């Protein structure tokens, strides 16, 4: 494809994406495809001769789109969203266009320096501890996901507690890690991948708000020490997946300091909220964290994948993950004057992901990003009041940000049927969790294009679906949405 052909094809692809954005609301949110249905429509063999772009665009419409669950639909309320935005798409396109592989500073100085700089901007934008800034002892790096960030934190903690012996000799001591019983499964996965062993991850009890009980953590650490186990790592969550609970970082951080434990804070979803000064209570105590991550790809308008991972002491992370073969040696690395991000995560190669974050921050400005977050938080609070006012439903957890956990009072089967009915309608997509062993519906309001009318419609659909199985209660105090 010549540059001129690329130009024309590129316009056609951008047109296709723009049309998709315009039509997003018309598609069934959850793909109705059955297993194998999409593959069955694809040719069994790769084409021998090249095909024109028109053929690919046609197949995108006819084969691919029916098998897409529309994560960018304003009616997508499942999981936590994966925010895409036009500026991020353009930044990503530039990254593809440049095609650089920024494993070392020397392999593309701008890829490293722009990333360092934008991540320092974010420290200020979220009012994170100064130690996380590259100007201080720490620094930030873009990882693919929060799962990778947790793994890197755990590996660095494992090295630190063993005086940097485990990388060389393997795990030869009974290390033990802690997270709340509501922590994301990525912590369990990291513990398994790092060879710590699932048995050596202790899940700490939570309180009535689903946040870790610091006293239970103290007791678990004491009990483990008494039997000769070596506590080394605590993962605290700001905004748990099930209910957006916020672990008390200050109390947990002080316990970690007292026992010399690594405190990793997983704020994958919720961290973005800290662009708003009035929501920074979520980070109360984060200055005690050894590492921290959040996902701009969840709630800060930056296309997947983009997790931002900070450490307060970069030397420990680098020492943990650095391996320097002859073929990567270069003068810039040897000078000690540059950062080589290959030493900050598991893969060697890395894309120029900072571009999309840079485009997003520059396009929206900090004020625009705050508006994005505030809109969702206000919508969630409003939705929560509608739930409270309907006798058939109850809130299942506090709503500190933009996730509403609620359930029909009729029990698990009723909630399961309700959710299946709603998701099969194609008009809305929401998912569930279990809280106190009860099936709970989650309405995560964090989509790029989600507005008041979508949330209002969601509530109408939920009420209608509930009424299909259960008659509407009569009597005073039952408000319509928005009243
Ligand atoms: N941590 C929390 C609190 C999450 O909610 C999630 C995903 O929803 C993750 C970690 C995992 O995210 P990722 O897909 O970036 O690994």
For atom 14 of ligand 1, the residue with the nearest CA is 145
Q: How many whole angstroms separate alpha carbon 376 and alpha carbon 372?
A: 7
Closest atom of ligand 1 to CA, residue 149: 16
Cβ partners under 8 Å of residue 403, min gap 6: 80, 239, 243, 244, 269, 380, 442, 443, 444, 445, 446
Tokens of 93: 């396109």
With CA atoms as reference, report the closest residue to 363 among 16, 20, 21, 90: 90
Report H helices in 310-353. 314-321, 331-335
Tell me, rounded to whole angstroms, the distance of Cα 36 from its chain centroid: 29
For ligand 1, the distance from its centroid to the CA atom of residue 70, given in whole angstroms, is 19
Question: What end-to-end distance do the CA atoms of the chain give, in Å?
Answer: 57
* Tokens encoding 274: 């800290």
Q: Is 266 in the pocket of ligand 1 (CB under 6 A)?
A: yes
Report DSSP letters for 246-290, one per residue.
Answer: B--HHHHHHHHHHHT-EEEEE-TTGGGGGGSGGGGGGGTTGGG-S
> What is the DSSP code (8-state) at residue 135?
T
Neighbours of 300 (CB within 10 A): 28
Q: Is 268 in the pocket of ligand 1 (CB under 6 A)?
A: yes
What is d(CA 278, CA 244) in angstroms, rounded to the nearest whole number? 17
Measuring CA to CA, which residue among 125, 126, 156, 185 is closest to residue 291?
156
Fold of 100-351: 3.40.640
What values do phi and psi take at 145, rounded to 5? -145, 170
Eight-class DSSP state of 233: E
Q: What is the DSSP letter of 236?
A: E
pTM, 2 dp: 0.95
Ligand 1 contact via 147 beta carbon (within 6 Å): yes
Length of the chain: 483
**Nearest ligand 1 atom to alpha carbon 241:** 5
Rounded to whole angstroms, the Cα distance separating 120 from 71 reads 29
In CATH, the architecture of 1-30+69-85+365-483 is Alpha-Beta Complex (3.90)
262 phi and psi angles, rounded to 5 deg: -75, 125
In angstroms, the CA 287 to CA 250 distance is 8
Q: Is residue 232 within 8 Å of 161, Cβ to Cβ?
A: yes
Distance 119 CA to ligand 1 centre (A): 19
DSSP 134-203: TTTT-EEEEES-HHHHHHHHHHHHHHHHTTT-HHHH---S-EEEEEETTS-HHHHHHHHHTTS-GGGEEE
* Both tokens assigned to 106: 């020397």
Test site for ligand 1: of 71, 143, 147, most ligand atoms within 8 A of the Cβ? 147
Q: Distance between CA 324 and CA 321 in Å, rounded?
A: 10
CA angle 155, 264, 239 (to 5 degrees): 135
The CA R_g of the chain, rounded to the nearest whole Å, is 24
307 lines ligand 1 (CB under 6 A): yes
pLDDT at 470: 55
Sheet containing strand 431-435, strands side by side: 393-395, 403-408, 438-444, 431-435
Q: What is the pLDDT along the chain (483 residues), one digit of tens a residue?
A: 999 999 999 999 999 999 999 999 999 999 999 999 999 999 999 999 999 999 999 999 999 999 999 999 999 999 999 999 999 999 999 999 999 999 999 999 999 999 999 999 999 999 999 999 999 999 999 999 999 999 999 999 999 999 899 988 888 889 999 999 999 999 999 999 999 999 999 999 999 999 999 999 999 999 999 999 999 999 999 999 999 999 999 999 999 999 999 999 999 999 999 999 999 999 999 999 999 999 999 999 999 999 999 999 999 999 999 999 999 999 999 999 999 999 999 999 999 999 999 999 999 999 999 999 999 999 999 999 999 999 999 999 999 999 999 999 999 999 999 999 999 999 999 999 999 999 999 999 999 999 999 999 999 999 999 998 654 444 333 444 333
- pLDDT confidence of residue 476: 39
What distance in angstroms lies between residue 268's CA and the mean position of ligand 1's atoms? 5
Angle at CA 187, nearest 5°, toward 185 and 190?
A: 115
* Å from CA of 77 to ligand 1 middle: 16
Report CA 321 to chain centroid distance, whole Å.
23
Quote the ligand 1 centre to 474 CA distance (angstroms): 41
For residue 40, give the 3-state DSSP assignment.
Answer: helix
Nearest to 459 by CA among 380, 367, 399: 380
Cα distance between residue 267 and residue 453, in whole Å: 28
224 lines ligand 1 (CB under 6 A): no
The atom of ligand 1 lying closest to the CA of 267 is 3
Ligand 1 atom with minimal separation from the 145 CA: 15
CA 173 to centroid of ligand 1, rounded, Å: 29
Contact 204, 178 (CB under 8 A): yes
CA distances from 308 to 4, 65, 86, 142, 158 (A): 36, 30, 20, 5, 21
479 alpha-carbon distance from chain centroid: 34
Whether the CB of 241 sits within 6 Å of ligand 1 = yes
Does 269 sit in the ligand 1 pocket, CB within 6 Å?
A: yes
Q: Residue ranges of the domains in the chain?
A: 1-30+69-85+365-483, 100-351
CB of 237 shorter than 6 A to ligand 1: yes
């Amino acid at each position: 494809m010549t540059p001129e052909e690329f130009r024309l094809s590129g316009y056609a692809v951008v047109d296709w994406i723009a049309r998709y954005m315009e039509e997003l609301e018309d598609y069934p949110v959850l793909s109705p495809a059955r297993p194998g249905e999409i593959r069955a429509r694809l040719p069994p063999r790769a084409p021998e001769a090249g095909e024109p772009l028109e053929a690919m665009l046609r197949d995108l419409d006819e084969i691919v789109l029916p098998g897409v669950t529309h994560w960018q639909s304003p009616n997508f309320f499942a999981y936590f969203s994966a925010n895409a935005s036009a500026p991020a798409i353009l930044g990503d396109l530039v990254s593809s266009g440049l095609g650089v592989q920024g494993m070392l500073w020397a392999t593309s100085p701008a890829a490293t320096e722009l990333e360092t700089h934008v991540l320092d901007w974010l420290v200020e934008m979220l009012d994170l501890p100064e130690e996380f800034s590259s100007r201080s002892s720490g620094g930030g790096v873009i990882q693919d996901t929060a799962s990778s960030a947790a793994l890197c934190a755990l590996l660095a903690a494992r090295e630190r507690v063993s005086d940097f012996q485990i990388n060389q000799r393997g795990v030869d001591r009974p290390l033990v890690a802690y997270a709340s019983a509501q922590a994301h499964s990525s912590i369990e996965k990291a513990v398994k991948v790092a060879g710590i062993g699932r048995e050596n991850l202790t899940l700490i009890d939570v309180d009535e708000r689903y946040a870790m009980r610091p006293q239970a953590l103290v007791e678990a650490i004491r009990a483990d020490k008494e039997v000769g186990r070596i506590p080394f790592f605590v993962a605290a969550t700001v905004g748990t997946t099930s209910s957006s609970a916020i672990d008390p970082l200050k109390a947990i951080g002080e316990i970690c300091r007292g026992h010399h434990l690594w405190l990793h804070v997983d704020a994958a979803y919720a961290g973005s909220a800290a662009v708003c000064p009035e929501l920074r209570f979520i980070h109360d105590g984060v200055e005690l964290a050894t590492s921290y991550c959040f996902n701009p790809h969840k709630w800060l308008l930056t296309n997947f994948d983009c997790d931002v991972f900070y450490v307060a002491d970069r030397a420990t992370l680098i020492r943990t993950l650095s391996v320097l073969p002859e073929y990567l040696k270069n003068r810039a690395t040897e000078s000690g004057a540059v950062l080589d991000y290959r030493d900050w995560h598991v893969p060697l190669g890395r894309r120029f992901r900072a571009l999309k974050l840079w485009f997003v921050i520059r396009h929206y400005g900090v004020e625009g990003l705050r508006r994005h977050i505030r809109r969702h938080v206000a919508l969630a609070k409003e939705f929560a009041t509608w739930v409270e006012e309907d006798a058939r439903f109850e809130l299942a957890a506090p709503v500190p940000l933009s996730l509403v956990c609620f359930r029909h009072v009729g029990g698990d089967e009723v909630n399961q049927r309700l959710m299946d009915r709603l998701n099969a309608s194609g008009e809305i997509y929401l998912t569930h969790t279990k809280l106190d062993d009860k099936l709970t519906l989650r309405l995560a309001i964090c989509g790029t294009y989600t507005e008041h009318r979508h949330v209002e419609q969601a509530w109408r659909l939920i009420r209608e679906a509930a009424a299909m199985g259960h008659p509407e209660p009569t009597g005073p105090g039952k408000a319509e949405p928005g009243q």
